[in-house]
Each structure stands twice: as C-alpha cells, then as structure tokens.
C-alpha cells in the first residue's frame, strides 16, 4: 500500500471523463483501492476519486462518521438536519 499524490483543484487531470473499470476484481484495481483508502485517511479526507490520484478510472472511496445511537442525540438535534 502507498500514499499517493493528490491532484489539486484546477489540475487538468480532474477535467477529463473517467473510464469504466473493466474488471473490478483485478489485483491492480484492488491495490489501487487500498492505496486510495490509505491516501484518503492520511489526508484526513471524507472521500477520494481515482482521477484525484492520477488514475483514469471511475472509482470512489469514502468514509462516513459512525452513526450515533438515538439516546446520544437530543430531541432538538434529531430533527435538525443542519446539525
């Protein structure tokens, strides 16, 4: 696994159209996904697309914070979708 360089906003690589992944089970695709996850975590990011790490594929990884248990959420906050 490796941490990859992330393209900055405005970089030409981000303006292209990503290609479909021919074989999602291929070892090189699995390695890319592992690298992307490691890169996203290292950058303290919420998500990362393959073109951001200079790969032309339609691959996206993301992480969401763990959902809090209902008893941890106050009644006001439970209905406030801006919280």
> Per-residue pLDDT for 79 more than 60?
no
DSSP 3-53: PPPPPPTT-GGGGSPPBPPS-TTSHHHHHHHHHHHHHHHHTT-SEEEGGGG
Q: Provide the CATH number for the domain formed by 12-78 in this structure.
A: 3.90.45.10
Q: According to the model, what pLDDT value does residue 83 have?
A: 47
pLDDT in tens, 3-40: 999 999 999 999 999 999 999 999 999 999 999 999 99
- pLDDT higher than threshold 70 for residue 73: no
Q: For residues 79 and 34, which has the higher predicted lDDT (pLDDT)?
A: 34
pTM for this one? Answer: 0.77
Taking 50 as the threshold, does the pLDDT of residue 78 lie above it? no
């Amino acid at each position: 696994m490796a941490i990859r360089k992330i393209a900055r906003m405005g970089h030409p690589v981000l303006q292209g159209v990503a290609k479909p992944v021919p074989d999602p089970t291929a070892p090189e695709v699995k390695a890319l996904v592992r690298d992307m996850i490691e890169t996203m975590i290292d950058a303290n990011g919420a998500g990362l697309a393959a073109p951001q790490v200079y790969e032309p594929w339609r691959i996206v990884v993301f992480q969401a914070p763990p959902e809090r248990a209902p008893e941890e959420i106050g009644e006001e906050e439970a209905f406030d979708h801006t919280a």
